Structure 1
């Protein structure tokens, strides 16, 4: 019970800080909305689909995964600011669980990113996107696992490098191949065979395929459960590793 209470206290405090300055939620939505308005209309002729709804059914799930990946990977910058301000240092004298210090923050990030995903989905409905509510909730679960994994990784790396100058190029170096090899903007079915083979080793490509299957209403597609299983395992591993980094930094 103490661990749950500690996690809730950290989460509540982090959410309070976020809600005091909600502009960051809107900033996070801005880029995906620009893709939705300015890039997605190009997809119907490019993908040779018959309706705009089909094009958005392909594009919106990939964009939501992109939001979860990038939104999570860059959360470490806030932690570095807390390190510099002595917030993490002062945590040493508190009885709060070290794992709770991590989970409270990552859960805040998950809630923030899912809220942004809901906003983007509602906007996509204007463009005739249609998806079953149950499938949509399962897709949000996939996004939450991705956000949990990438956020935990970002915090762990931030504790290691302790510098924005090192974190920024490192995260960008990781994010670029992840983006290109996950079929976020265009399905990898249009890629040459060698590129599809390489992409199979990218766990995010499984998440994108699974999310697209949910949006098109194919709940029984193997990509859905494979994507959920892979992201869940990686999220647990990322949280365990990042928690160890917190334990080393706060003791």
Structure 2
């Protein structure tokens, strides 16, 4: 392992936070049954040697939770997982959306950091992870002279994922998020996607109301983010 900010390690992707000193994130890339506890423990030990004091999992399913808990991880936050089967009519937004480009990354991060607080803010490594999580990615911006909000949607095969949706507080409540979600759903439908997934914090009632009003339904199992520290 070197000083790179992100790398692959025995079935998981690990990355160091750009914005929070001592924080690392890990994402399982293979089924939990293929992960080896001793190798993940070795990863944690190496992260500590690099100065890491807190390690967070990505949003994982409840069925994956027990594996990490045996290594000392504890629940940090609960998420709702929602699904859209694209069978219901989807309105087509009248507003023009712009394609997000690499030159827009800093503006995207600024909008994201205005929309989210604390742990949930994206840094550059997190943005890159969202952009590269699927085989195909669509980034759309809602803007005039200012960036109002953005959406990152990914697709692999017949499944799509609304990876990130953020609207600046000053532009919330006027249809920006609805426009961006509609664009994502229409894009997925044109590509014969069978299901679009999105997750959000269980206490983010505004996001839950938006998604459910647009045809998403809550899946029963939900997701969880886990946290580990050397003192756990």
Q: TM-score by structure 1 length?
A: 0.26
Q: Answer 1 or 2: which has greater helix percent.
A: 1
Q: Answer 1 or 2: which has greater strand percent.
A: 2
Q: TM-score by structure 2 length?
A: 0.28
